[in-house]
A and B are shown apart, each in its own frame.
Chain A
């Protein structure tokens, strides 16, 4: 079992809801401080985005965050090399689109992730049908590939993608792209329940979680939440790493009360 999965299972099994905030690598000069602030605020892992020019699963906020990072000269190598010196104890999961590792070469990309202390990878435009080459490149490296489950995935697809997922299963709360929404819809409990019936991997829900209330609502039927756009909007609006940390602390309190 990979480091990421072991860590998340232990925390989940201790009765804790998992909280995984997201940061766009290179969004600001002090983006590594944002990750440190997440840890201080009680995050259980951090999703680190390597920005891509054409993020089709992302709404306007993450697009703007990606654009800002790219304009600052961010590349896959700058993100991964800056992570090398990072002194946090919670696991890091990179999230990016297929062309980024494809261009670098899957094998090389995996090596660079390992050298940077990354323990998981999320590539939303690589469904399991397209996953063989990537899995082969990962081999027995300590890098868990996290698969996304959609509210409209058939039972058959859920079984197959769950079987190939490592670390956790990323449950998508909505039909649609990332972005803040005022409430968690009916898909969340349904999908979390369906996935939990077929696996004991942690099931962490993301997309549309914008507040302590929505975080608590999505964490209740699942093992935890991923929060991205709400924090990236705060940073895009000039908010500091400490303010991002304070928001994550609010989310922590909300899901601890579930």
Chain B
């Protein structure tokens, strides 16, 4: 089913009813409906409040280090036969784009009088970011993390604890990100009166997909201005990795009304959009890896941050509209890209954005001579031990 948009500005605008075409919604237990409505109401009020926006912008600038730079990759561009620009979200405080969202949500929690944050994390980046924001604002913080991911990302577990957060292991199901989301939702059902669920991606029940996109819109807004300043024009292609899809939705939002092609890159073992089967889990309708009976399947990816069987509902909608397209890459291609960027540009990327680079590298003929903007959503320090184990001695 494909729908033709009536006007470009109707895409990625306000979402008054929580629906992105046939996707989205608020599929949560009755106990959480009121809390979701409160988050929506307070977020809309805060977003229209200059004092709130000023405080957030101040933190993004003075604490997180925004604006993040735009880097033109000379050597890698030559090697690939195209022109590669990186949006350097890896240079933000805590090492990824996740800080944009958590600073906004932590300030919102404070505004709502909630003293405790609960979050899920896959690779640990969102967990570290949430623990950081909680420490900054003096909030209690509990992070749920799959037991498998805790093993893969020991350093981030230590970081979160160092920041004063409690890390709780999700021991059910695949013991990865999906199960951490389940546990965070179970916590929230029991603690909703005192706790804000600081969801880490552009997924979940309304208003989260909308709110998280708005909090990451700064990526796309900055990048558009930076591209114009550098080139006097928009890039030909904007690409980003997609698990739940928050960094991609952030950069896409700045270019949705441009002529740039938008390309999301999923892991081959977790290509929810690629498989294109709709389902309902974690609060919204979207594309979902599942079996014929509706049981959610486990995603398989080298990158803990993309190990999620669903995808944010707005990505499903953009795919169905044809405004964005979604490609997938294998773990082996990702490992090559991880090394390629390290060697040619002196930038060790996180495994997640290495997915987007893996696609650029594979599609180099199609992209020949074009300007490609890639959202480098995180730095690779957290992944070095894991990659060293896989590659052995270099």
Residues on A lying within 8 angstroms of B by beta carbon are: 52-57, 59, 63, 67, 70, 75-77, 97-100, 102-104, 124-127, 129-130, 147-154, 157, 161, 172, 174-177
A56 touches B33 (CB 8 A): no
B189: CB under 8 A from chain A? yes
CB distance from B30 to the nearest CB of A (A): 4
**CB<8 Å pairs between A and B, sample of 15:** A57-B189, A98-B280, A99-B279, A104-B293, A124-B30, A127-B27, A130-B25, A130-B26, A130-B27, A152-B31, A172-B31, A174-B190, A175-B193, A176-B190, A177-B190
CB distance from A177 to the nearest CB of B (A): 5
B227: CB under 8 A from chain A? no
| A124 contacts across to B, CB distance below 8 A | 29-30
A125 touches B279 (CB 8 A): no
Secondary structure of the A side of the interface?
loop
CB distance from B207 to the nearest CB of A (A): 13
A99 touches B34 (CB 8 A): no
3 nearest A-B pairs in the assembled complex, by CB-CB distance = A103-B294, A176-B190, A150-B31
Contact among A76, A102, A157 for B33, CB-based, below 8 A: A157
Q: A52-B294, A127-B33, A175-B190 are in contact. List 8 more A-B contacts (CB 8 A).
A: A76-B294, A99-B290, A100-B294, A129-B33, A148-B29, A149-B30, A153-B34, A175-B192
CB distance from B146 to the nearest CB of A (A): 13
B163: CB under 8 A from chain A? no
Contact among B26, B193, B285 for A129, CB-based, below 8 A: B26
Residues on B lying within 8 angstroms of A by beta carbon are: 25-31, 33-34, 172-173, 178-179, 182, 185-186, 189-193, 278-283, 285, 288, 290, 292-296
Interface centre among B27, B280, B294 (most CB of A within 10 A): B294
Once bound together, how far apart are the Cα atoms of A35 and B27, in whole Å? 30
| B29 contacts across to A, CB distance below 8 A | 56-57, 124-125, 127, 148, 150
Once bound together, how far apart are the Cα atoms of A103 and B292, in whole Å? 8
B178 touches A54 (CB 8 A): yes
A99 touches B296 (CB 8 A): yes
| B290 contacts across to A, CB distance below 8 A | 99, 103
| B282 contacts across to A, CB distance below 8 A | 54, 56
Once bound together, how far apart are the Cα atoms of A102 and B288, in whole Å? 12
Contact among A63, A100, A126, A175 for B189, CB-based, below 8 A: A175
| B33 contacts across to A, CB distance below 8 A | 127, 129, 153, 157
CB distance from A256 to the nearest CB of B (A): 30
A53 touches B296 (CB 8 A): yes
CB distance from A4 to the nearest CB of B (A): 20
